[in-house]
Amino acid sequence: MKQVVMFAAAMLLVTAVHADARTHHHVRHAATNSGVTVYDRDSPDPNVGWHTDASGMRVCSHDCDNPEIPGSGARCRDVNFMGMAMRECVTGSGW
Residue at 81 is within a domain: yes
Residue at 60 is within a domain: no
Residue at 34 is within a domain: yes
What distance in Å separates the CA atoms of residue 22 and residue 16, rounded to the nearest whole number?
10
What distance in Å separates the CA atoms of residue 16 and residue 18, rounded to the nearest whole number?
5
Residue at 54 is within a domain: no
Task: Give me the percent of the chain exceeding a pLDDT of 90.
Answer: 42
Residue at 31 is within a domain: yes
> Which of residues 23 and 8 earns the better pLDDT score?
8
Residue at 48 is within a domain: no
Total domains in the chain come to 1
* Domain enclosing residue 72, as ranges: 2-40+67-90
| Residue 57: DSSP 8-state | -
Helix (H, G, I), strand (E, B) or coil at 55: coil
Residue at 77 is within a domain: yes
Cβ neighbourhood burial of 21 (10 Å; 0-12, 13-18, 19+): middle
Q: What pairs with residue 77 in β-bridges?
A: 36, 88
pLDDT at 42: 93
pLDDT at 40 over 80: yes
